[in-house]
Amino acid sequence: MGSLIALALVWAIVVTLLQVGLSDSSLAALFSTSSAYAMGIVLLFVFDGVFGIVFLFILVKRSGIRDWRRFLRIERIDVKGIWLAFGLGIALQVVNVALLWQILLLPARDFLVSLGPTGGKIGLGTVETVPFLSPSQASFVTAFLLTFWWIEVPEELFFRGYFQNELQRVVGKRLAMFLSALFWDVAHLWSLVNIVERFFYGLVYAFVFKVRQNTTSTMFVHPIGNRSLLLATVIPAIWGVTLGQTNILILGLSIYVGLLLLVISVWKILRLDRDVSETV
């Protein structure tokens, strides 16, 4: 168990250093606000993606595992798990808006913001972090986000496919679920303002893995969910349009469902599922 926690902390430390070093405030000294925002997304995606892939590659090699897909629980696409994660995520958003926002999330954010720099917001605060973008900048950011939507996949492969999967053998599925959500949250302390809200999302992803024992559900829902609200804010800027909060949510939900259907379809078309006999 100690080695698992140590690996999670190494992930957290490296990602935090990357995020702090490539923050919008650091880039703002060299670029305009909008250019710094776009450049920050590109650099963070590239460095985070490279780190995640290299980290997992080393992890698999050092573990002496030949069948990495079986090891990380991604042999078959879990369509039911994808829609379970999607549904629970939407339900959490509704609960946040209807109940938790005023009594818990907003007070927690205000307190954390009062402490100083707390990083960019996620979830309900996503649209607050997007500066005014020119049509060309919005087109570039949209194309980049759609092309590199998979950046959080290594994160899910590690925290659910490896960390939670291995941990549940030691402490049981229920405690492993909570520890997975907790350490996943710790790995995002560079965005301190979201620590409370993010823990709930971590519980959703960890719960889905606990129930389905398959990583494909969260490794698709997590990155696509992250993109949806951001894309719903950025895409209208291509045509110089600013949408209200309600329209952003509707467009974001449409993008969310559309991208999930696209990913599932591509997986099925390419026949990436494997027969059980192939993994024995």
Summarize pLDDT for 3-38 with one digit per residue, the tens.
899 999 999 999 888 877 666 566 767 778 788 888
246 part of a folded domain:
yes
Rounded CA-CA distance 261/237 in Å is 25
Assigned token pair, 85: 């994660």
67 part of a folded domain:
no
167 part of a folded domain:
yes
| Total domains in the fold of the chain | 1
146 part of a folded domain:
yes
Say what the pTM is: 0.91
182 part of a folded domain:
yes
The phi, psi pair for 190, rounded to 5°, reads -60, -20
pLDDT for position 207:
98
Q: Mean pLDDT, to the nearest integer, of 48-77? A: 92
51 part of a folded domain:
no
58 part of a folded domain:
no
- Range scoring the smallest mean pLDDT among 47-51, 126-130, 220-224: 126-130
Q: Which alpha helices (DSSP H) does the chain contain, by range?
A: 2-21, 24-27, 33-62, 68-71, 79-95, 106-113, 135-147, 153-156, 165-171, 173-186, 195-212, 216-234, 245-269
pLDDT class for 96, splitting at 50, 70, 90? Answer: confident
Domain span holding position 95? 78-271
From the list 252, 90, 258, 112, the residue with the least C-alpha distance to 193 is 112
Q: Mean pLDDT, to the nearest integer, of 128-134? A: 79
26 part of a folded domain:
no
